[in-house]
Structure 1
């Protein structure tokens, strides 16, 4: 009887434990489902997730991901003053709030800061869903305060809401015109546009603009998209064409995503020279000097030349002998922008794709040595102002360290077919031999003339010998 009692007690405990486990899992499932449900007045979770840069990537060059002038968003809250003495202080952001509030009161005299706070509080849950981190250490008050000040700072710099007539230039900050000095303006643009962690959702900017002016939401979209387009055009990353084209305009998730929307490879204009099967593996690109040894020529193209719309439009001619690559103008911000665009893709592949990563992998492997950079510079594929080619080659070699990318996945690698065609050409012994002959002898016209004379002389001797035998 005692054993039966012990057995009954253990069975009862087991049932209780299983019931507790079921309740725990049910609660977590309910929480998961509620976090995926539409929030914020019908707005679904943001399709673009802002995530912390992983240590494996950040350790290559942490300076490429940290703000120098202005810290934006919850990843940089509270703002460590020790990071940079030039980070925008609380006073700068409060001043921006004052400018927008004055502009709002010019149209709505009863507008107060409390109206901004209440509207942003309604968006708080939607905004939190746009980040990979929950930021449980930030209270609702801190989070909304951060959104308001950061959003006002960005809008005062990029849009320029005004509280007085348009002829009063002292109040307006026009698009493309630095509000203080050029160096400071460039630093602000670099921090708010280029950095993957230094972002707040675009719909926050829209909401603040909507509260500030009657046409505020439309003005935010128009002015900031114009600013981004001009930025990409001046950096020679893309030709002058809008990123959001009707009838299906795509509203960006944040400012970095807006830049990313400009970089999409053009569809192929000619049928492929070869068909790549799913079983074929491309593995990796060869270096530019290896391709040159196999007879592949590189040719740099400027924007708008032969249909080049962005730096991603790498094209192989029909014969597979010339690779046309958009000219890449390298400056101090090139590596920062490319790295952060890749980080955006690493966390949002389904939403934005991986074409920038595919392009960076291509360039990092083709231009990974000093001789490769020298060759590509001569072919006008790369233009740089660095002291020497060694520095550029090292930057290319380090560009994709820590990046996850499958070159054999056609959905990830839009250049997979091009890579495979060049690989087949590089493995061809006859093509390599002909390329060696051209490099060795055909570059010198006197050697070519001498070779032709030798061939003609040999042919004459053969003919003479044949006639002698016949006679």
Structure 2
């Protein structure tokens, strides 16, 4: 009996070693404790001479993926303890905590660090929200040149990147400066510049500084070339980029895209180094406005006398886009401020006062703020072009809408879309451009509306048909959210709708449209009235003569 027991013990031990060799690579470390594990169930212990049979039975009824085998080998016994556990990837052997719990804690720690390290009030350069980007990628993504970290390093901009290095080389050769001078100056502003961007920028400090210097010098060469002349800066007249060729307009459009911006203080620091004693305060902002001026949608046909009259008639002081600008300003916001010169700001309501949901427009199709041109004309409202250099300066007086002239070209849609995206993204930003876009979107419902406004001189389409212009305005505010009562046109909306709702205005307009639309209609109406009067007179005298015959 002793010999038989030893053989059984030896056989059990060999089977145990084989099982350990087979499953050891896929299981947690073995434990020498006989206590019940907190994540599993310890099975009943069985005599060793029955262990192989019991193990085979368990393997037939248990899922191998959910069962692990812990082997404990004392001096004279071999004991197998199956323990029911969760999935192997949900448990850390060292701490005994599920991996997903650790992942949640790591994410919360990262969020705490982000909140502590970032100040959202410093963010000025945003990524376009997905709800605005849908279907309009070409209006938000630069086409030939990237000027910020969001699109840095993309292969599609590789050709233009070579011209950026060429511009930097030209600057260093012209100023006889060492590149280290620019790198050290911008490196001091690295943290401030990085904080202007929304989200984490996956660039090291040195790479970020290098990018700011390279892109900044390239932008300044464009600014100065347009202002002073590229040949004066040393570029040949047939230069593919640094000359007044067709590519310049495409670069200008890329430079007003929200995701393609560089903080103005970076450009200012680089310009100070380049010019030295010749530098003048706010020079870089003035150069930027001069470079972006071709994208201005306002009327440029005004004579100098008209401009002088407008300036003298304005009670407000001349607009200075730099008077209250923050250091985080960029080209898009600077251009926006210049467009909105002296724009009447609606006094914002107290932030503690709850806002009514009915005043919010999430989709222009849900609420019509003002009727379209065709419907307003039927109600007797007239349209006149207003002579002003400010496209947003709309006025309603005595049933007449006075709307400034606006130029429609290839850069109009990207300009308005990016200005609207900035107003939608930046906390505390006013919504003048958004309000104007909503006004024009509601006003135009068909190509016929565009055609009538064009005949009035209000819309000047430099390219495209009336249908394309109508589609342009109808696509500007697909997912725009803004407060109607907190807009500078809120009073105008109310006045126009009140005039439209008066029935007498509609009757008078219908009469004029049907009977006084052209001279022939007027002549016909007068003839009909005269004929009616003569017929009435003839009838009167006939009846009068019947009842009162003439005395003999």
TM over 0.5: yes
Can you list the C-alpha shifts for 1:106-154, whole angstroms capped at 9, x where unaligned? xxxxx4222222221221111122112222x221122111111110110
C-alpha distance in 2, partners of 1:403/1:394?
16
> In 2 relative to 1, CA 380–350 (structure 1 residues): closer, same or farther, beyond 3 Å?
same
User: Any residues of structure 2 matched to 1:131-142 within 5 Å, and which?
Assistant: 131-135=197-201, 137-142=202-207
2:275 to 197, 213, 216: 213
Whether contact under 8 Å (2:150, 2:259) holds in the other structure is yes
> In 2 relative to 1, CA 438–154 (structure 1 residues): closer, same or farther, beyond 3 Å?
same
Residue equivalent to 2:519: 445
Residue equivalent to 1:171: 234
> In 2 relative to 1, CA 403–309 (structure 1 residues): closer, same or farther, beyond 3 Å?
same
Q: CA deviation at 1:436?
A: 0.7
Whether contact under 8 Å (1:160, 1:172) holds in the other structure is no
**Residue 324 of structure 1 pairs with residue 402 of structure 2:** yes
> In 2 relative to 1, CA 426–188 (structure 1 residues): closer, same or farther, beyond 3 Å?
same
C-alpha distance in 2, partners of 1:265/1:421?
24
Q: CA deviation at 1:203?
A: 0.5
Residue equivalent to 2:353: none
Q: CA deviation at 1:230?
A: 6.3
Structure 1 unpaired stretches of 5+: 1-20, 38-44, 106-110, 269-277
Which has the larger displacement, 328-337 or 25-34? 25-34
Q: CA deviation at 1:314?
A: 1.1
Can you list the C-alpha shifts for 1:56-78, whole angstroms capped at 9, x where unaligned? 22222211111122101011122
User: Any residues of structure 2 matched to 1:103-252 within 5 Å, and which?
Assistant: 103-105=174-176, 111-135=177-201, 137-160=202-225, 169=232, 171=234, 179-192=242-255, 194-214=256-276, 215-216=278-279, 218=281, 219-229=283-293, 232=296, 236=300, 244=320
Whether contact under 8 Å (1:298, 1:323) holds in the other structure is yes
Can you list the C-alpha shifts for 1:294-340, whole angstroms capped at 9, x where unaligned? 11111223xxx2xx2311111112x1x11111111111111111111
Whether contact under 8 Å (1:161, 1:172) holds in the other structure is no
1:341 to 378, 401, 419: 419
* Secondary structure in structure 1 of the residue aligned to 2:163: helix
User: Any residues of structure 2 matched to 1:23-422 within 5 Å, and which?
Assistant: 32=115, 35-36=118-119, 46=122, 49-81=124-156, 88-105=159-176, 111-135=177-201, 137-160=202-225, 169=232, 171=234, 179-192=242-255, 194-214=256-276, 215-216=278-279, 218=281, 219-229=283-293, 232=296, 236=300, 244=320, 253-264=329-340, 283-301=368-386, 305=387, 308-317=388-397, 319=398, 321-351=399-429, 353-406=430-483, 408=484, 410-411=485-486, 413-422=487-496
C-alpha distance in 2, partners of 1:326/1:217?
35
Residue equivalent to 1:12: none
Q: CA RMSD in A?
A: 4.0
> In 2 relative to 1, CA 74–246 (structure 1 residues): closer, same or farther, beyond 3 Å?
closer
C-alpha distance in 1, partners of 2:341/2:232?
40
C-alpha distance in 1, partners of 2:298/2:454?
20
Whether contact under 8 Å (1:228, 1:258) holds in the other structure is no
Structure 2 unpaired stretches of 5+: 1-103, 312-317, 345-355, 360-366
Q: Which one scores higher on RCO, CA 8 angstroms, separation ≥ 6?
A: 1
C-alpha distance in 2, partners of 1:89/1:118?
25
* Secondary structure in structure 1 of the residue aligned to 2:155: coil
C-alpha distance in 1, partners of 2:162/2:357?
60
Residue equivalent to 1:6: none
* Secondary structure in structure 2 of the residue aligned to 1:299: strand
Instruction: Calculate the TM-score normalised by the size of structure 2.
Output: 0.65
Q: CA deviation at 1:287?
A: 0.9
